[in-house]
Structure 1
Amino acid sequence: MDIKIQNLKDLKTRIAYLEIKKLEDELFVKQKFQSIKETLTSPFKFLKRIAAMVGISHSTDNTTSRSQKADWVTNFGRVFLPLFLNKTLLKNRGVLVKSLVSILSQRTINAMSFNKNVLVNWIDKATDLINSTKKKVKLPKKEIDYGIPPESETY
């Protein structure tokens, strides 16, 4: 590709052509880099979206604004409540019913309605209920006879 440059005008056009070619090549490399980067990070984005749906991590967009962050009790409830329901109440139900109940239970458990404080209150109420059902047998007080009647006068 030997181009003969004969005068100053040919030199300036060649420089302009090479600058445009340089910009085009940079843009091409940048687009290829972005394409490779998106290809490599797409599985992680998919996992982040799944985690955000389940509630393990929060999504980066502000479409779901939560006034309180989920604590470990909320995350634990989102994972194990569907498992508990599937093993107990939905034991002989179909896969479709189990999946719907799992999705609904994961969506309904949020940081406002199920957190450490709520769990502690539930445990306190359960222990109060258990303690109140135990009937404490009160023995009748026996009056002790000291031999002197209480209304007697002593001089």
Structure 2
Amino acid sequence: MKKTSRRYNINNLEELHAMVSSLKAEHELKGDLLLNDTKSYFKQFTIGGMIKKYASSSSLLKLDDKLNISSGIMSMVLPFLMNTTLFRGSGFLTKTLVGLASNKVGKTLDAEHLSAIFNAVKSWFSSSTKKTEKTPQYVDYGIPPDSETY
């Protein structure tokens, strides 16, 4: 790092005090800027920053398009889920057929299909819980307010 020296034209004590106070103010300003830059730099490496950067829906869809992770996970999870919940008391042959069928269905599901299914299920629950009452609106029958029938 090259050290540069500044040359100041200071003639009396008042100019010296003014220069010292301006240099202190400049030092404080640069220190604050450096601190803010450091905080923002380290913030991007926190868990929250990583989640915001890499776990957003657009980045997950891009990653899933490349690696097809969601269909691989669903092809393993869906047969297990079906056999442990819906077909719990079934025999070996039924569980095998359900496992093969749900494995094929799981391979066809990707992130877009899963998000569409999630949004559809979410809309069922959100629409049933939120019922807003509609206020009756004013109906204009075309009768002027200064008419005799009003």
Instruction: State the TM-score, normalized to the length of structure 2.
Output: 0.42
